[in-house]
Structure 1
Amino acid sequence: MDNYTSDEDTDEDFDTQLIIQQSLQDIHQPRTTQQASADESFHSFLSADYKKILETIEAGKEDALSHLTKHHSAFDEADGIGWLPLHRAAVQLNKNILQITLKASKPSVWEQTTHNGETPLFLAVSTCLLENARFLLLNGCNPNAKNSEGNSPLLTGANALGQASDSSSILLEAASGGNPDSVTLLLEHGADANIPKNSGHLPIHVAADRGHLLALKILVPVTDLAAIKQSGISPVHCAAAGAHPECLQLLIQEGFDVNFMLDQRIRKHYDDHRKSALYFAVSNGDLSSVKLLLSAGALPNQDPVNCLQIALRMGNYELISLLLRHGANVNYFCRVNPLHFPSALQYTLKDEVMLRMLLNYGYNTERCFDCPHGDKVHPCYTFEGWTSTVIKDTMFCEVITLSWLQHLSGKVVRVMLDYVDQVRICSKLKAVLQKQGLWSEIHFILTNPRPLRHLCRLTIRHCMGRLRLRCPVFMSFLPLPNRLKAYVLYKEYDLYGQGIFTGTW
């Protein structure tokens, strides 16, 4: 970085920082201040009594407000954004102001909403004013009223972190804020934890997504599994998506299904059409959540895009190892890049550690040498690249001989020969390998019988089948010496297990 900075750059940075700071102040500014300046033109049409009541409420002057209660009609007026004096009082710290205002207001307006659909109770919960919310509930305000986004106060209370939310019912609003006292209060006064917002999310979903453990503990026993099923998404998905392993652990302990799959109407909003909670955790690179899910029985091969593919693209050894040890399919085929050989290999060509991981867990190496052209001349392409023409049923020999990959061909093929019997290489691959430094060793292996011990290992692995190779726990039940088990599982080539954490050629 250059040490020199121009005056113009300094001024621009200062202006940018000032804008950011002002924006942050606006976000944390009390709602009353923001709302009061929202519609200056409409404010001029309000009665003088309304304006005086509003000023008194915001100033917290109890005696003055009591003297104004004789102007009953002014307490029923609303400003340009639908706020009554009762809405203003609901977000004041002084509960006595709210008591006076409620008494002066007609019962018919106690449930009246702002233009955003917020009742006074909703506003009290969203601003974490618990005493105000308790007072309104004791006076019969509806704990299940929703705002224009379909959110209830309970959902708001599960999310209230000192900022108001404009997207929930009152209980849902409480859940999104993570305030356990608000959630408990609403539930005690009849709030329904099974009322979804417009998106279908329940308070339990929002609490799990935001990582509000205390609120989640309260919501778990009062949420119906039928309502969760109807929503099409499990709170397990939400905890995994939000990377909150402590919430995930609670849900698992409470018996939530880690293999609950997203409903089709939810999946369609994701380009990869993901289904499982495990996919969310893997995509986040969240090892703690991945461990919890796999240990609880999450299946790693349920999504259209395999979880192992995501881990391979990240190059995360620990994540790859975890998935493989819990049965991830090394022979998956990618629907986007359909290759003749199993797709996982394309992410490991430059990394021996990852390549050995796949091969040790039963990767179908033979298919890589399955070229229909053999010794014949291969068709020539006038271009190289991943186009719809080249991708379709592309052979391994066509990929590894590309100009930007052929320098890796010798090392990759040499490793792969440790996992196959006698194989024949096609003319195209041979022509490239002959230019590599490892050609003499490769040629010797290809033209001489393989050792008997090597062939026995291949035979045993073939008899076990790839499903058992993908589930190493199976080996613990075999009545074989540990040394033989290690040999069958290629432990001598388990570079990651040996503490090798970089496999770049």
Structure 2
Amino acid sequence: MDFTECYGGTVSRVAAAARSGSRKRVRRLIRRGFSVDCRDNRGWNALHEAAAAGSTECVQELLSAAGAGSSHGCRAYVNTLTHEGESACYLAAQRGHLAVVRLLLKAHANIDQLTNDLSCPLYAAVDGGHKEIVELLVSKGAEVNRKHTSSWWTCLHQAVYKGYSEIVRILVNVCNLEALDDHKISPLFVAAQYGQQECLEILVNAGANVNIQAADLATPLLIASQEGHQACVDFLVDHGADPNINCSNDWPQLPIHAAAEFGHIGVLRRLIAVTDCDCGHIDGMVSPLYVAIYSRQSKCVELLLKEGFSPDAQDCTHTLGLRSPLSLALCHTTNKPFSESVRLLVAAGATVTEENWIYALATDKTDLLQLILEHRWIPRPDTLIKDCSVPHHHGKTVLKLQELRELLCVALDQVHFAACWLPLLLKAGLEPSLLLQAHMLEQADSDVLNYLLEFVNWSTLAAPLKHILDQRRVTKTCEPCQDFDSIPCLSHLCRLKVRAVLGPDLLMRTNVVQQLPVPSPLHGFLQFRSIQEVSYRHSSPPPLLNLIQEYHSTHQHRHVI
């Protein structure tokens, strides 16, 4: 082989003439004895240059010169490869030179010759979108199901990925529709992933499996939902895609979870209509509320709640380490007092657990507690029956007996924040006698105790509680109001009676007091508005997660109801 003309990045004279498409110059140089097979530093010869340039005349001239000795010599020449393993046929197919490909095939070019990176003329033509060359190569018997590239993609995978629907129409008649790459992904899966709707329709109509699963169990419907390809989702659902197939080895993930996680509202709305609603509440499943909250997709949370998904969902402690959607939402609250997801869940009636109450009470911020009380009605203890409560009252969800118990339990454990939460709870109608516990009287600040006692008849306190107050007075840890040494005045006893008759919930949270036959200036007095609130004087609280861990490790349950 003659390398005398090649230096660095240069090409031979014949190759340069072939690249320019000058048949006359190529012929003249050949007659003068210049080699047609001289290579440059890429391994390209004149035929590679002519094929890449699309010069049929130069290709003919070169093939004639190479075949002057024998047909065997021409066959060897037409199949010479560059250093990248590219044949002249590959280069022509890659660049869309149909006439050149015809010439080369007629000269016995290897139609299935692989390059170093496992490509071939057909794959190159598909990748370039050259439909006519694809038709030619397929008609000449090119291998259509060979796996190319390191990912094992077939020509059909690549045509779908590029969205070449006309080429896909050709290939579906000859290719394996269920060919899988190294992740067991089929061409139909690729169409769903990249939103190639027309290609998807061609594959489905040709009989491709719409419920095929990849190595990680993902389905075409799941990936289309994840990527937000609404038209593909609609088509798949309309043509038999099952929205209830488990698509994960880790937890029971469905397409609806993918839509909720990535905030694709339109897709989510479509999947809600066809997904088994049991996923939102039965044990062993995971409500899509969890992933919507985790991904901070508040609009998806809102839609799911509106469409009937339970705000309590199921306990996913064993599946995801999460107890409830509200616990997750509170855990994910960052720079705001509470997130939009928290607001939506509370408004929808999510059960408030002991852990949730910690977020509301173990802090000097009252935003969350105010939010809960805005949507919750604190019932009178005598109206509660075990495990049963009136679901709604005055447009608000009534706290269940268990919720009220856990509220009081956390409140008594967080007495050092009572200056923050006590006024809110009492004004929301909490029966103050529920807080008249030994722990409260022993630990509360003096101002907090005075505020609480203003809501009761302090002269009738139980002897053990009076003893605690006396002891605190002796040790000077409490300075009770002077009035507490005397019998309560008649006006105070009267408002306590009104409160008892009407109930603290109605008195404090409705306009019922305005309907009483008393002068309007007394309305505020009857609702205890004349009592001055206490102010919080403690340092900043520790992180809530630390408080929760400490609560679980040291808490002693106090039976208060």
Please state which band the TM-score falls in when normalised by the shorter chain.
0.5 to 0.7
Matched, 1:414 2:450: yes
Q: Equivalents in 1 of 2:190, 2:454: separation in Å?
A: 68
Q: Equivalents in 1 of 2:477, 2:311: separation in Å?
A: 50
Q: Which residue of 2 aligns with 1:48?
A: 114
1:232 is aligned, of 269, 277, 285, to 285
Ranked by relative contact order (alpha carbons within 8 Å, sequence separation 6 or more), the top structure is: 1
The two structures have a TM-score, normalised by structure 2, of: 0.57
* CA-CA distance at 1:146 after TM superposition: 1.7
Q: How many residue pairs get matched? A: 386
Gaps of 5+ in 1: 1-45, 161-177, 372-394, 401-408
Deviation digits for residues 140-172 of structure 1 (CA, Å, limit 9, x no counterpart)? 212211222222211211220xxxxxxxxxxxx
SS at match of 2:162: coil
Q: Which residue of 2 aligns with 1:212?
A: 264
| Residue identity (%) | 22
Equivalent pair of 1:351/1:504 in contact (CA under 8 Å):
no
Q: Equivalents in 2 of 1:183, 1:414: separation in Å?
A: 63
Q: Which residue of 1 aligns with 2:184?
A: 117
User: Which amino acid is 2:455 matched to?
Assistant: Y
Q: Equivalents in 1 of 2:407, 2:280: separation in Å?
A: 41
SS at match of 1:76: coil
Gaps of 5+ in 2: 1-111, 382-398, 539-561
Matched, 1:258 2:310: yes
User: Which amino acid is 2:299 matched to?
Assistant: E
Deviation digits for residues 167-201 of structure 1 (CA, Å, limit 9, x no counterpart)? xxxxxxxxxxx222121121232222232323223
* CA-CA distance at 1:122 after TM superposition: 1.0
Q: Which residue of 1 aligns with 2:203?
A: 136
1:84 is aligned, of 142, 154, 168, to 154
Question: How do 1:472-483 and structure 2 match up within 5 A?
Answer: 472=509, 480=516
Equivalent pair of 1:328/1:470 in contact (CA under 8 Å):
no
Going from structure 1 to structure 2, the CA distance change for 1:312 and 1:478 (only over 3 Å counts) comes to same
Q: Which moved more, 1:483-492 or 1:53-62?
A: 483-492
The two structures have a TM-score, normalised by structure 1, of: 0.62
Equivalent pair of 2:506/2:512 in contact (CA under 8 Å):
no
Q: Equivalents in 1 of 2:406, 2:262: separation in Å?
A: 40
Q: Which residue of 2 aligns with 1:8?
A: none
Question: How do 1:189-338 and structure 2 match up within 5 A?
Answer: 189-198=239-248, 199-226=251-278, 228=280, 232-254=285-307, 256-259=308-311, 261-262=313-314, 264=315, 266-269=316-319, 271=321, 273-274=323-324, 277-283=325-331, 284=333, 288-296=340-348, 298-301=349-352, 303=353, 305=355, 307-313=356-362, 316-327=365-376
Over the aligned positions, Cα root-mean-square deviation in angstroms equals 4.2
User: Which amino acid is 2:473 matched to?
Assistant: K
Going from structure 1 to structure 2, the CA distance change for 1:342 and 1:222 (only over 3 Å counts) comes to closer
Question: How do 1:452-463 and structure 2 match up within 5 A?
Answer: 452-462=490-500
SS at match of 2:447: helix
Q: Which residue of 1 aligns with 2:9?
A: none
* CA-CA distance at 1:127 after TM superposition: 1.9
Q: Which residue of 1 aligns with 2:234?
A: 184
Going from structure 1 to structure 2, the CA distance change for 1:84 and 1:159 (only over 3 Å counts) comes to same
Q: Which residue of 2 aligns with 1:449?
A: 487
User: Which amino acid is 1:312 matched to?
Assistant: L
Going from structure 1 to structure 2, the CA distance change for 1:354 and 1:397 (only over 3 Å counts) comes to closer
User: Which amino acid is 1:449 matched to?
Assistant: I
User: Which amino acid is 1:215 matched to?
Assistant: V
* CA-CA distance at 1:418 after TM superposition: 2.1
* CA-CA distance at 1:328 after TM superposition: 6.4
Q: Equivalents in 1 of 2:495, 2:409: separation in Å?
A: 22
Deviation digits for residues 404-431 of structure 1 (CA, Å, limit 9, x no counterpart)? xxxxx23322322223322425266335
Going from structure 1 to structure 2, the CA distance change for 1:418 and 1:471 (only over 3 Å counts) comes to closer
Question: How do 1:25-36 and structure 2 match up within 5 A?
Answer: none
**Greater Rg, structure 1 or structure 2?**
2
Q: Which residue of 1 aligns with 2:472?
A: 429
